[in-house]
Structure 1
Amino acid sequence: MKWHMHYLKREDMLDIHGYLVERFGGRLGLNSLDRLIGLVVSQTQTCFGEELYPDLPAKIAALSYTFIKNRPFRAGNTATALLVALRLAHINDQTIEDIEGLSHELAAAARSERSQEQLLQWFNDHLIPGSLTIQPR
């Protein structure tokens, strides 16, 4: 039986961004709805009948990197990319074991110090089976 991949919808990304702006401040709103839609469809992108991003680490790396570089929102794109990565891992029963490290990697990508390929390697090294349960403080 083939494993079924779960994907984020546009509404999921909008909700995550809205949560971040409400919780931490910043400007709510889109720079481009087309860019956001492009991010949503990138998760299932194919080329010559084959998935462009064939596994979860590749999908998360591509989505995170493209989120940061395409900047669909007016503000908070890197923080939104972080939560989008965590959420995509979670809905596929995976955990990113080093959230602080991920934050540093995404910030480096925002400064053009990391490539999508480097992010992929990082996710390959830090994505583990099982969902993370976060306890409130």
Structure 2
Amino acid sequence: MLALPFSDECFDVVIEKGTMDVLFVDSGDPWNPQPSTVSKVMAMLENVHRVLKPDGIFISITFGQPHFRRPFFQNSKFTWSIEWSTFGDGFHYFFYILRKGRRTSDGWDSSEKLEMPSICLLQEELEGEDYIFRTNIDEMDC
């Protein structure tokens, strides 16, 4: 994930579930992560951005709250727009959709919060671990 061995613009969709969370395990203060963490997270995102085709979609399923992910997703190196939604009771997780080449004015607009079922999922499907296999990317409004 830090040095993907794929050519540029070869994927329509990249999905990560908890991979970025692993990079933050020993990051220290979540408001000010260690430089080594920042470097690894940026390497991962740069690789994902690089291998996505124009209009490609990066789906990130994570425990990382929007205010912690925002500085990374909004980096000027990236041209994606960002949508997100929160799931779970008590212990929340977040479903981000980043579209390459569709950057909004600041890359992050709270009005772009996902309205379910924009990704063709029902709430009861999201409670199981296999919901990602039923996500229909072809029907997303791109």
TM-score (norm 2): 0.30
TM-score (norm 1): 0.31
**Which one has the bigger helix percentage?**
1
